[in-house]
A and B are shown apart, each in its own frame.
Chain A
Amino acid sequence: MITRAARRRATNGVFVVLCLIATAIALSALVMILWTLLSKGLGGIDFMIFTKDQPAPGSPGGLRNAIVGSLIMCSLGMVIALVIGILAGTWLAEYGAGTKYGQVVRFFNDVLISAPSILIGLFVYELLVAPFHGFSAYAGAVALAFLATPIVVRTTEDILSLQPGALREAGMALGASRAFVIRKIIWKSARTGLLTAGLLGFARISGETAPLLFTSLGNQFYNARLSQPMASLPTTIFQFALSAYDDWQRLAWVGALLIAVAVLFINIVGRVLARETHRS
């Protein structure tokens, strides 16, 4: 006869194995994709990638203009997304928590998360490109912000609403205003969660192509002016990867590798800076 204890132990054992399998599957998918990235991209990396602009097929060149463009537009987009996203997420978690309006905003935010990036690109095109008769990096950054903000909002709200009420009560009891409590206590305690929100947003927009095609267009040459079309890694990758030329395809894989490495780097740096302390 199987005792209840034995059955519980067995269930636990099965569960542990399943978790291990799940992790193994996730990691092996990562390994396979990284393997493809590395094997195709690593061979093409040289100093020129960072010092020369994108070439025509058959000419030597690098990805400098695309890298700089991506940096500029992603940073600008993330700044906008973080400001609006964290404030909105805070509102949802703190001020608007039980209200009907809060429910509406939360619901609409979820809908915005699933917006196909191409449609957001079209919307920003109608807003910032067509009326001004020109593609620009501003429009590109705004389109990226549109994509990152809902993720930041969602994650911020989830994290903040799980901060213990005791923290808030303690702050209020000491005479602090609500805003102070939120800013100095709750945000601080949710630091790593907010960081994750930002990192997820950044990961989302770092590889987005479609919205940039309609807003910042892309640029064969180096351009750091926000009011002009600007190159970016995803658009360059898109153009080069689907071409017929070997050297362009190789540059595309190098670009893809750069994006993946950048996300990894920012992940690690972010966590180190936030000094992820074990909650006790």
Chain B
Amino acid sequence: MFKTFVAAIGGLAIASTAAAADISGAGATFPAPVYAKWAEAYKAQTGIGLNYQAIGSGGGIKQIKAKTVDFGASDKPLKPDELAAAGLYQFPTVVGGVVPVMNLPGIAPGQVKLSGALLGDIFLGKVTKWNAPEIAALNKGVPLPNLPITVVHRSDGSGTSFLFTSYLAMKNPTWASQVGASDSVQWPTGLGGKGNDGVSAFVKQTTGAIGYVEYAYAKQNHSTYAAMQNKSGKFVQPTAAAFGAAAGSAPWLKSPGNYILLLDQPSAAAWPITGATFILMYRNQEDPANAAQVLKFFEWGYNKGDALAVSLDYVPLPANVKGLLKKQWASSIQSGGKPVYVAK
């Protein structure tokens, strides 16, 4: 019986020489649900399977550099010199936001107002109680409880942390000098939860806790979120419209290599902690047919994938930005001097 079992496995192994493979990509966890949704619909329409796996932004960058995948995905855009050194090209696909969430009894979502500098002080451990004067100053009339603040941050490296810490570094000079911005930092205080899930869980379980999660998590878990003060001084709620406003008012045309952080954008309706997620591909493709398939997929995503993205709480790029990017593809991704695919 054992022998037949081994023979069966062996037969399966030998039979595994079939032809066309799916396109594969790997990287950031943040866009994984929307890429999965797009891939499912795309396969139903065209029969081509695009397999995307979330192994982390760093993983995406590593794997595209190792050429084990057809494209990489990263929540952190690579700087133009890094791109040039690796021979890569990056373009954004969807936009999302990072939302501070809290566990405060008797407080409604969006009731508490925070500014970037104050948020930084809270996460530095400088402001330790919810009814501290710094918080009360921004929240007149809000019944802030007399509870100690428990900070919850990410224990694992993540694009969400990168966006959050970059924003804090922008608005709070002490944070910039003491901690800095990265997908993984040495947090001055607080607990580390694994994943957005872990942070949500800890915040839910601890009264007086504050953490930060991706918008989808805040929405799906019905968390108590804070309103943030944006660059024009207005306090905005975290909504798809606010993220879209941030994306729309960003200087895309002036960003070489598409390196752009959507933090603290000038529009009055913009959510200050917004970010896009990026695809990384080689400028010079060895397999033009494969690369064309990848581009066709993302073209489909731009043209037909908006509704699906919105259904999962993602924000599509503004139409003018999409047009600009599609035009970039012809000159940026080539094989033997010729564009791999010309998008419509």
In the bound complex, do residue A244 and residue B214 qualify as a contact, i.e. CB atoms below 8 Å apart? yes
Docked complex Cα distance between A76 and B14 (Å): 13
Q: Give the residue name and chain of the B residue nearest to A82 (CB).
A: B2
Q: Give the residue name and chain of the A residue nearest to B213 (CB).
A: A244
Partner among B5, B49, B68 whose Cβ is within 8 Å of the Cβ of A129:
B68
In the bound complex, do residue A226 and residue B16 qualify as a contact, i.e. CB atoms below 8 Å apart? yes
Query: Per-residue CB proximity of B3-37 to A under 8 Å, as 1/0?
Result: 00110010011001110011010100000110011
Known A56-B38, A130-B66; further 19 A-B contacts with Cβ < 8 A: A56-B41, A57-B36, A75-B5, A79-B5, A133-B66, A134-B24, A135-B24, A218-B51, A220-B40, A220-B51, A221-B43, A221-B51, A225-B16, A225-B21, A226-B12, A243-B32, A244-B214, A244-B220, A244-B221
Docked complex Cα distance between A72 and B16 (Å): 12
A185 within 8 A of B: no
| B:40-94 near A, CB below 8 Å | 40-41, 43, 49, 51-55, 66-69
Which A residues lie within 8 Å of B312 (CB)?
A: 57-58, 245
In the bound complex, do residue B9 and residue A130 qualify as a contact, i.e. CB atoms below 8 Å apart? no
Which A residues lie within 8 Å of B53 (CB)?
A: 213, 217-220, 229, 235, 239
In the bound complex, do residue A221 and residue B68 qualify as a contact, i.e. CB atoms below 8 Å apart? no
A171 within 8 A of B: no
Task: List, sorted by A's number, 28 A–B pairs whose CB atoms are closer than 8 Å.
Answer: A57-B36, A58-B311, A76-B9, A130-B66, A133-B68, A134-B68, A135-B68, A214-B55, A217-B24, A217-B51, A218-B53, A219-B22, A220-B49, A221-B22, A225-B16, A225-B18, A228-B21, A242-B194, A242-B195, A242-B196, A242-B197, A242-B198, A243-B33, A243-B197, A244-B217, A244-B219, A244-B220, A244-B313
Docked complex Cα distance between A56 and B308 (Å): 10
How far does the Cβ of A117 sit from chain B's closest Cβ, in whole Å?
Answer: 15
Q: Give the residue name and chain of the A residue nearest to B37 (CB).
A: A56
In the bound complex, do residue B40 and residue A56 qualify as a contact, i.e. CB atoms below 8 Å apart? yes
Query: Per-residue CB proximity of A222-258 to B under 8 Å, as 1/0?
Result: 0111111100000100010111111010000000000
How far does the Cβ of B175 sit from chain A's closest Cβ, in whole Å?
Answer: 27
Chain A, interface size category, equals: 35 or more
Docked complex Cα distance between A59 and B18 (Å): 29
Docked complex Cα distance between A45 and B36 (Å): 22
| A:97-154 near B, CB below 8 Å | 129-130, 133-135, 137
In the bound complex, do residue A55 and residue B220 qualify as a contact, i.e. CB atoms below 8 Å apart? no
Query: Per-residue CB proximity of B288-323 to A under 8 Å, as 1/0?
Result: 000000000000000000000001110000000000
Docked complex Cα distance between A14 and B197 (Å): 45
Partner among A79, A221, A228, A244 whose Cβ is within 8 Å of the Cβ of B9:
A79
Docked complex Cα distance between A264 and B236 (Å): 53
Docked complex Cα distance between A134 and B216 (Å): 32
How far does the Cβ of A36 sit from chain B's closest Cβ, in whole Å?
Answer: 14
Which A residues lie within 8 Å of B217 (CB)?
A: 244
Which A residues lie within 8 Å of B101 (CB)?
A: none
Docked complex Cα distance between A216 and B198 (Å): 26
Which B residues lie within 8 Å of A72 (CB)?
A: 9, 12
How far does the Cβ of A59 sit from chain B's closest Cβ, in whole Å?
Answer: 6
Docked complex Cα distance between A223 and B197 (Å): 29
How far does the Cβ of B215 sit from chain A's closest Cβ, in whole Å?
Answer: 9
How far does the Cβ of A71 sit from chain B's closest Cβ, in whole Å?
Answer: 10
How far does the Cβ of B218 sit from chain A's closest Cβ, in whole Å?
Answer: 9
Partner among A55, A214, A229 whose Cβ is within 8 Å of the Cβ of B24:
A229
Q: Give the residue name and chain of the B residue nearest to A225 (CB).
A: B16
Q: Give the residue name and chain of the A residue nearest to B215 (CB).
A: A244
Partner among B6, B52, B69 whose Cβ is within 8 Å of the Cβ of A220:
B52
In the bound complex, do residue B40 and residue A227 qualify as a contact, i.e. CB atoms below 8 Å apart? no
Which A residues lie within 8 Å of B196 (CB)?
A: 242, 244
B39 within 8 A of A: yes
In the bound complex, do residue A55 and residue B40 qualify as a contact, i.e. CB atoms below 8 Å apart? yes
Docked complex Cα distance between A220 and B42 (Å): 13
In the bound complex, do residue A224 and residue B16 qualify as a contact, i.e. CB atoms below 8 Å apart? yes
In the bound complex, do residue B43 and residue A79 qualify as a contact, i.e. CB atoms below 8 Å apart? no
Query: Per-residue CB proximity of A68-82 to B under 8 Å, as 1/0?
Result: 000010011001000
In the bound complex, do residue A217 and residue B16 qualify as a contact, i.e. CB atoms below 8 Å apart? no
Which A residues lie within 8 Å of B21 (CB)?
A: 225, 228
* Top-10 shortest CB links A-B: A56-B37, A56-B36, A225-B16, A226-B16, A244-B220, A244-B217, A244-B216, A56-B40, A218-B53, A242-B195
Docked complex Cα distance between A245 and B37 (Å): 13
How far does the Cβ of A65 sit from chain B's closest Cβ, in whole Å?
Answer: 10
Docked complex Cα distance between A248 and B33 (Å): 10
- With A56-B37, A133-B66, A242-B196 already in contact, the answer to whether A217 and B55 are too (CB < 8 A) is yes
How far does the Cβ of A154 sit from chain B's closest Cβ, in whole Å?
Answer: 22
How far does the Cβ of A27 sit from chain B's closest Cβ, in whole Å?
Answer: 27
Q: Give the residue name and chain of the A residue nearest to B55 (CB).
A: A213
How far does the Cβ of B206 sit from chain A's closest Cβ, in whole Å?
Answer: 19
Q: Give the residue name and chain of the B residue nearest to A59 (CB).
A: B40
Docked complex Cα distance between A199 and B17 (Å): 31
How far does the Cβ of A81 sit from chain B's closest Cβ, in whole Å?
Answer: 13
Q: Give the residue name and chain of the A residue nearest to B54 (CB).
A: A239
Docked complex Cα distance between A248 and B6 (Å): 35
- With A218-B53, A225-B18 already in contact, the answer to whether A133 and B33 are too (CB < 8 A) is no
